[in-house]
Chains A and B, each alone.
Chain A
């Protein structure tokens, strides 16, 4: 280690130099080890080198499993999407649309000028006994002492009236025969059906909103 470069120093120099080198080297090693023990993270690769030096390598799986919150037992989709009307409010703005009008139960009142020449001034309405069948359609639903029925009832009779009512063609009993209007349900039927479909709709909606998907 010591190269005798100075012939002047003779045989005493190598021993003292050796001692000095050992002392300095030992102090340096001590300082380094102290630094690495006290604050490994403060110096560059300290923690990494320390980790590699200190611990035996562990398996990745076990290390990850140690910190894992565990398997998922339930994964429910977040319902972040708003309803369609919230997405596109402008599409729901009022706009013209077509709609079939419901059947009317009575004809609009005809102008006087049209009615009068036909039947004369003194008899604006024909009595039930004398009136012909077809012109019923032309009559306004004004209350009349001889025909006190609701206009709807009158029209309900019409489909059957072609062949003549019981009692002879053109004659007209004040209490009409009971007629079943089977083509269109009654309003309470409609209401009940709508309630039922509403309940079905609510059930479907609840189902789509809270669709749980348990994992595994």
Chain B
């Protein structure tokens, strides 16, 4: 084989390989743009006239929920969509009682209940499709205030560990377009309040599967 043939063969095959890889990968590496906020869906219940989007003094009674993992009697009155990184905390007038946490992956929301009354809610991040957040009820195994993940080398303040393999609720930068490796990320300020409100052994229930179809009308 002459030198010219060799050069051309090796060089061309390497360049072809690189080009093929480039084409293959460029399909998936294109970042998605955040869609413009559309008009409120029809199914969204309209806010009562004259009521602000959020009134810390207001509460809304909830119809009995037979399928829920814990008691739900009232919710905080929030009549407009929350933005990524938003949270509301208000335990005024709420008596002592059993605490449980409800995480809704569909709606990207977390709610903390005490004695059946919601005392806090936040927009969450959850696991990416390749690293899904597990569904079910989990007792809080451990509370770690200044945890730093060795696996991901990332700070995870106010970690509430749920499973033995590392799934937890912890403070993170909640923003559009982000996902976790299976944890539930909440705004760090909210995580601090949640950390103070729950005890080891309190129940966390995660509902909503990312793969299933959205409810009718949503």
* Contact across chains for A180 and B3 when beta carbons are under 8 A apart: yes
Q: Could you give, for residues 205-216 of chain A, a 1 whenever the CB lies within 8 Å of some chain B CB and a 0 otherwise?
A: 011011111111
* A76 CB → nearest B CB, Å: 6
In the bound complex, how far is the Cα of B79 from the Cα of A131, in angstroms?
Answer: 103
8 Å CB contact of A51 from B30, B74, B130: B74
Which of A40, A67, A189, A216 meets B7, CB within 8 Å? A189
Q: How far is the CA of A55 from the CA of B43 in the complex (A)?
A: 20
Q: Are A52 and B74 in contact (CB under 8 A)?
A: yes
Chain B contacts of A45 at CB under 8 A? 93, 95
Say whether B109 contacts A68, CB under 8 Å: yes
Q: A74-B177, A75-B179, A203-B22 are in contact. Are A69 and B83 (CB under 8 A)?
A: yes
Contact call B62/A60, Cβ cutoff below 8 A = yes
Check B81–A75 contact: CB distance below 8 A: no
Query: For the complex, is B50 an interface residue (Cβ under 8 Å from A)?
Result: no
Q: Which residues from chain B contact A63 at a C-beta distance below 8 Å? A: 45, 60, 62, 75
Check B153–A52 contact: CB distance below 8 A.
no
Contact (Cβ within 8 A) A51 B61: yes
- Find the B residue at minimum CB distance from A192: B11
Max count, chain A CB within 10 A of own CB: residue among B13, B93, B109, B131: B93
A200-B18, A207-B28, A213-B129 given as contacts; is B11 within 8 A of A193 (CB)?
yes
Residues of A within 8 A of B121 (CB): 67
A60 x B58 contact (CB < 8 A):
no
State whether A213 touches B179 (Cβ < 8 A).
yes
Is the CB of A72 closer than 8 A to any CB of chain B? yes
The answer to whether B32 and A214 touch across the interface, beta carbons within 8 angstroms, is yes
Does B82 have its Cβ within 8 Å of any Cβ on chain A?
yes
Report, nearest first, the 5 A-B pairs whose CB atoms are least far apart. Answer: A196-B14, A75-B179, A199-B18, A51-B59, A68-B107
Residues of B within 8 A of A (CB): 1-3, 6-7, 10-11, 13-15, 17-18, 21-22, 24-25, 28-32, 34-35, 43-45, 47, 57-65, 68, 72-75, 77-84, 92-95, 104, 106-109, 111, 117, 121, 123, 125-131, 152-154, 176-181, 210-211, 214-215, 218
7 inter-chain pairs at a CB distance below 8 angstroms, sorted by A residue, are A57-B62, A63-B45, A67-B107, A72-B179, A189-B6, A207-B29, A213-B128
14 further A-B contacts with Cβ under 8 Å, apart from A64-B104, A71-B106, are: A41-B57, A52-B74, A57-B64, A68-B109, A69-B82, A69-B123, A75-B129, A75-B177, A76-B178, A186-B3, A199-B18, A199-B21, A210-B28, A213-B130
